Amino acid sequence: MIRAEPILRNVILTVARDYAKAHRLPLDRVSRAAYGDGRFLGLLAKKKCSFTVEKFDKVMAWFADPKNWATGIATTVVDECLEDAFYGEKPGSKA
């Protein structure tokens, strides 16, 4: 049986870290902007909190909105991360 929580946790953290790196921001500021709680992503990374599907949707909707990304920074990271998490290697990609 596949557990969804570790997959979704990885998706959130991967996108959040990519966003933080691209914008040169600490993770707590990204957490505050994306979810309204500066501790959420840090606790999530330490596996000290869980989350609901609604929370996942809220955070990922924030990251998927192009207005939250600086001009010139691609938001394709969200789509790519979700695609990799749920479908693995893309068809035609080399291993």
Compute the distance between CA of residue 58 and CA of residue 52 in angstroms, rounded to an integer: 10
Compute the distance between CA of residue 10 and CA of residue 87 in angstroms, rounded to an integer: 14
The answer as to CATH 1.10.3210 being correct for domain 4-86 is: no
Q: What is the pLDDT along the chain (95 residues), one digit of tens a residue?
A: 567 888 889 889 988 998 998 899 999 999 999 999 999 999 999 999 989 989 999 998 898 888 888 766 666 666 666 666 655 654 444 44
Would you kindly state where each structural domain of the chain is located, as residue ranges?
Answer: 4-86
Q: What local confidence, expressed as pLDDT, does residue 75 receive?
A: 61
As a residue count, the chain comes to 95
pTM for this structure?
A: 0.77
Q: What local confidence, expressed as pLDDT, does residue 91 receive?
A: 42
Q: What local confidence, expressed as pLDDT, does residue 67 receive?
A: 87
